[in-house]
Structure 1
Amino acid sequence: MGQLNIAAKRVLSIDVFRGITILTMVFVNELAGIANVPGWMKHLAADVDGMTFVDLVFPAFLFIVGMSIPFASAARLKKGDDLRQLLFHVLIRSLSLIIIGVFMVNTIAGFDEQAMLIPMDLWTLLMYGAVLLVWCQYPRGWSKVASNIPKIIGGALLVLLWFLYEGNQNQGMTTQWWGILGLIGWAYLLASIVYLFALTITNAVSHILFLIVAALGFLGLFFLLDGVQEFQGSALQLLVNNNNNHTHAAIVLAGVTLSTLFYNEVLAASLKRNALLFIVASGALAFACWQVSPISKIWATPSWGLFSIFFCALIFTATYYIVDIKHYTRWCQFFAPAAANPLLVYLIPYVLIAAVGLAGVSYRPAFFDSGLAGIVWAAVFSIAIMWIGAFVSKMGVKLKL
């Protein structure tokens, strides 16, 4: 099994791209609750043929997940892991994301607070506390027993909260749409399985071609199968159509491909040509696909996936040029905590909102609920979250799946 000459290291341009994406994600999540803002600052409706920058945030995160896969795999191979151990690690990380995603989505909708023994805000806070206990990275000096005790407590608390949850119509917790983290988990799982097979191909060019064909297959195959009668009602259709995991996995694989094109020692010799070809090809495919498939983030259509890949490749290439070629790096320090601890920074707003809600007050003054004041609030809020994330990270709190 080849490592394809990719070093097991952190890459600043990828970290910066990740940090920018996290900042934008916090900003647009906050902006979603503010009225009277321009349409281009909101998600477009599912039946509108188009996308805004907001519709690019989630696929950008998927793309970054893909860009990190070759480096994470190289690191584990360097430690001596084999294919089976790599797959087991992928399964654990995917399952972790799916579990957290399902718990999160059930705090947003589907609950019957009147039927619950504790307030929903308290349930939410306890849930995030349990997540911290289970997935926190404990000091290396701790013994295995000392590290496992809080994980066991956190796991037991999640089980208890699962029993305490009361949903609408006497239902308990449901998967609903898996939540953002759950969707990332499914996409990461599917794409990683493809990548692990690709690791057996030691020729760099053949490896890249395999990843591209796999990504296009995810984008196109299920889209075509949707009209096949035998496909209807199957378990595969439920996995595909309910959450559009095939399109999301394709975006992850596109990130894997671009990362390999940029950082593989063999392919890096033709970096400028390869990057240009990737950008031009993804853009051309996006426009061609748009003629038969409308752009819709909610429906995760192939054209939306291809346009997302095109814009992500363009943004990352610009970031790479600024950071790795021109070495303008001082401004990157602001994004470092979010890049190193993205899951924690993503969760912090939800923890704060639940804590303030439990206290019986609104975390956002009414003056900032609309218009320009709301946009300013969302910008300041997102920057504040980045600072809080940096402070908490310096305190040694880090989530690691």
Structure 2
Amino acid sequence: MKPQPTKPTAPQRLLSLDALRGFDMFFIMGFAGLVVALCKLRPGSFADWMSAQMGHAAWDGFFHHDTIFPLFLFIAGISFPFSLAKQREKGVRERSIYTKVIRRGLTLVALGLVYNGLFNLDFATLRLPSVLGRIGLAWMFAAMLFIRFGIRTRIALAAVILVGYGLLLQFVAAPDAAGAGPLTEAGNIVGYIDRTIMPAHLYGNRGFDPEGLLSTLPAIVTAMLGMFTGEFVRRSEEQISGSRKALRMAAGAALLLVLALCLDPLQPVNKKLWTPAFVFAAGAYSLGMFALFYYIIDVRQWRRWSYFFQVIGLNSITIYMVQRIVRVSYTSEFFFGGLGSKFSPEVASVIFSAGYITVCWLLLWFLDRKKIYLKV
């Protein structure tokens, strides 16, 4: 009698995802400030370059800090194929899945409004777009496409979105900015739409918002790239080893980088417009970093070092909101102000930055020990 083939076991939680999410959030949890403070201790060309990487490109360009937002969205995309598979295995109805997706997306939009100052009750000038809002909307629409369509249709839809958005940017200028080029901050159609719909609710009241309505479209593709990746990783074919998956993802990252480099001369990499070249550049970085973390943590099982980042990644939304609501700098100064006062201002800045990170991390460590997580 032939032995029956064993049913593939359900995939375990990808610890690399938590670690990579934590690594991503680490930069906005104070590490970027620490890097800048350290660079001031030894000024020079390399220090200037490194400090610049801890900020955003003024318009066109691609600095490390420009990777943080799309990487977080990409990671959210990776998680969804696993989450959807679990729900379907439990027999959850499609209608309930859609409801949960929409609820999560709108909850992130609401948290974005809270982050922007909802409780100031200044509704006349409250900024409506937000980082969390874009993550919520882009992920929500990408998730609904994932539920509804097969991979070939989704690839075609992603291509249509990028081509259509790119052509719109390239050839349609803002009607209210005569003489300004369509790819400039004053002349792009993205800003014009936001100025028309919500003129008093944009970032800094400058007439342009980097998280505006139209540029959410290519952000959906960023989330879709993450879902393509998650779909690939969770495939049950036993003949595809973890090492081979990591290698294929690295090759995919290289391909995305080539696409970004080819598009950049035609339509520059620009985070604020979320241009197609930016989608590919950020996708290359995100996929490459995930391939690296996946190989080290989930394939090679070298995990001990990653605990520091996992603690952050498991409560990423928590620390993002806490830094907005709570004066963490006050706590850091309370504990580390005395030590900092004994040194020069440059060294004191390093101590305060390290203390800020320490306070944030210990809070997240405490929450992790108590199994307290803010889940949306």
Range into which the TM-score falls when normalised by the shorter chain: 0.7 to 0.9
Query: Is 1:46–1:297's contact at 8 Å kept on the other side of the alignment?
Result: no
Q: 1:84 aligns with which of 66, 90, 95?
A: 95
Aligned to 1:256: 227
| C-alpha separation in 2, matches of 1:7 and 1:53 | 35
Provide TM-score, normalisation by structure 2: 0.73
Alignment of 1:185-224 (within 5 A): 185-198=136-149, 201=150, 207=151, 209-224=152-167
Change (3 A) 1:363 1:174: farther
Q: Any conservation in 1 of the 2:246–2:294 contact (CA below 8 Å)?
A: no
Deviation for aligned residue 1:279: 1.9
Confirm whether residue 247 of structure 1 aligns to residue 222 of structure 2: no
8 Å Cα contact 2:215-2:274 kept in structure 1: yes
Matched, 1:343 2:330: no
> Is 1:328 the equivalent of 2:279?
no
Q: Which residue of 2 aligns with 1:44?
A: 56
CA separation of 1:85 and 1:280: change in aligned 2, threshold 3 A: same
Q: How big is each residue's C-alpha offset from its partner over 1:89-129, in whole Å with a ceiling of 9 and x where there is no partner?
A: 1100000000010121137xxxxxxxxxxxxxxxxxxxxxx
State the shift of 1:286 in Å. Answer: 1.0
Post-superposition offset of 1:363: 10
Q: Distance in 2 between matches of 1:6 and 1:223?
A: 43
**What SS does the aligned partner of 1:57 have?**
helix
Unaligned 5+ segments in structure 1 are 108-160, 202-206
Change (3 A) 1:80 1:217: same
Does 2:24 match 1:25?
A: no
Residue 72 (structure 2) aligns with: 61
Check whether the contact 1:191–1:250 (CA below 8 A) recurs between aligned residues: yes
Q: CA deviation at 1:306?
A: 0.8
C-alpha displacement of 1:295: 1.6
Separation in 1, partners of 2:351, 2:289: 24
For residues 43 and 324 of structure 1, do their structure 2 counterparts lie closer, same or farther at Cα, with a shift above 3 Å needed?
A: same
Q: Output the CA distance in 2 between the equivalents of 1:172 and 1:369.
A: 41
The amino acid that maps onto 1:395 is: K
Residue of structure 2 in register with 1:389 after alignment: 364
Q: Which amino acid counterpart does residue 166 of structure 1 have in structure 2? A: D
Summarize deviations over 1:176-227 as a string: whole Å, max 9, x none.
Answer: xx221111111111211211123xx3xxxxx2x4443333333322221343
Cα offset, 1:32, TM superposition: 11
Return the alpha-carbon distance in structure 2 between the equivalents of residues 187 and 261 of structure 1: 20
CA 383–73 in structure 1, closer or farther in 2 if over 3 Å, else same = farther
Using the alignment, how far apart are the partners of 1:8 and 1:375 within structure 2? 42
**Partner of 2:16 in structure 1?**
13
Q: Against the structure 1 CA distance between its residues 355 and 210, is the aligned structure 2 distance closer, same or farther, given a 3 Å change threshold?
A: same
Partner of 2:115: 104
CA gap of 1:355–1:334, structure 2 versus 1, over 3 A, is: closer
Structure 1 distance, partners of 2:350, 2:330, is: 21
How much does 1:229 deviate? 8.7
Alignment partner of 1:298 out of 272, 283, 286:
272
Residue in 1 that maps onto 2:289: 315
Task: Give the 3 Å change call, closer, same or farther, for CA 291–172 of structure 1 in structure 2.
Answer: closer
User: How many residue pairs end up in the alignment?
Assistant: 324
Cα deviation digits, residues 309-332 of structure 1 (max 9, x gap):
001111111111211222111112
Counterpart CA distance in 2 for 1:335 and 1:179 is 25
2:182 match: none
Identity in percent: 21
Contact 2:336 2:351 in 1 (8 A): no
Cα deviation, residue 174, structure 1: 4.2
Task: Give the 3-state SS of the residue equivalent to 1:173 in structure 2.
Answer: coil
What per-residue deviation string (whole Å, max 9, x for no partner) do you get for residues 43-63 of structure 1? Answer: 33432x321111111111011
Deviations 1:278-317 (A, max 9, x none): 1232111111111211122222222122111001111111
Q: Deviations over 1:324-366 (max 9, x none)?
A: 2221111122223223222112222223318959xxx999969
Q: Give the stretch that moved more between structures: 365-374 or 59-68.
A: 365-374
Q: Which letter maps to 1:173? A: L
Show the counterpart of 2:256.
Answer: 282
User: For the Cα contact (< 8 Å) 2:311–2:365, is it kept in 1?
Assistant: yes
Distance in structure 2 (CA, Å) of the matches to 1:78 and 1:392: 30
Of structures 1 and 2, the one scoring higher in RCO (CA 8 A, sep 6+) is 1
Contact (CA 8 Å) 1:261, 1:275: kept in 2 or not?
A: no
Classify 1:267/1:56 alpha carbon distance in 2 versus 1 (closer, same or farther; 3 Å): farther
- Please, what TM-score do these two structures have when normalized by structure 1? 0.69
In 1, are the aligned partners of 2:21 and 2:75 still within 8 Å (CA)? yes
Counterpart in 2 of 1:184? 135
Shift in CA distance, 179/322, structure 1 to aligned 2, threshold 3 Å: same
Matches within 5 A, 1:267-278: 269=240, 271=245, 274-278=248-252
Query: 2: distance between equivalents of 1:69 and 1:42?
Result: 29
Kindly provide the amino acid, as one letter, of the partner of residue 157 in structure 2: A
- Tell me if the contact between 1:18 and 1:339 (Cα under 8 Å) persists in the aligned partners: yes
Change (3 A) 1:363 1:250: farther
Match runs of 1:85-234 below 5 Å: 85-106=96-117, 161=119, 165-166=121-122, 171=124, 173-175=126-128, 178-198=129-149, 201=150, 207=151, 209-226=152-169, 227=171
